[in-house]
Amino acid sequence: MKFLVQKIEECFTLRFVILNFSGIYSFKCKDNFSLYKKFGYPQCIDRELEALDSSEISDCINLISSCIYTKYFLVENYKENVQLLEVYNLGKMKLDTITIRVKNSQDKLIRKYNRNNFSISKNKQLFCFTRELQSVKLYFMENGLEATSKKFDSIEKIHLLEFIEEDKKLVVVGSI
């Protein structure tokens, strides 16, 4: 369960967002926790959830948790060697941006064994993405275009990405 606070004309609305096997549910607190919106997961997430062993609820939680950063939900999808990264705003319950990259087909196999890691700048202009491997990609939230990428040969696995100092720097935590 995630707690989201949305500022609307100097008022604060507390919203509960619940993610479970069957979808994403948003409830507004001021309306006696009435259901605000319900969304099903994109097909690629649905397929991954269905493929999990139902006795391993931790696998489901890990999969869904790996898609969440603050109030954002990331979906990675492949179609005919094209990688789509979709970033949804859980506070507004809408799609914020899509990035499109042509990729090698073997990258789909890497996704199976490595979880995505991403961060969104506090000013919500930049989106940073890695698949726990050696490279980091930086995108513009406004249009989904890739701004830059960096490969870290001395890092074997990246565990955390975080914008700091008013989004002027990106901290990359990894293991060697």
Q: Within 10 A of 148 (CB to CB), how many other CB atoms are there?
A: 9
DSSP state, residue 36: E
**In the chain, what is the straight-line distance between the N-terminal and C-terminal CA atoms, in Å?**
33
The tally of domains found in the chain comes to 1
Going by C-alpha positions, the residue among 163, 31, 17, 8 that lies closest to residue 89 is 17
pTM attached to this predicted model? 0.67
Distance of CA 85 to the CA centre of its chain: 9
Q: What is the mean pLDDT of each run of 10 residues along the chain (176 residues)?
A: 49 72 79 74 82 72 80 81 82 81 55 67 87 82 87 85 90 86
CA dist 87 and 43 (Å) reads 15
pLDDT at residue 165, as a whole number: 92
Type of residue found at 3:
F
Scan for tokens 């726990």, then name that residue.
132
Structural domain harbouring 74: 2-175
The DSSP element (H or E) to which 75 belongs, if any, is strand 72-79
Distance CA 65, CA 113 (A): 15
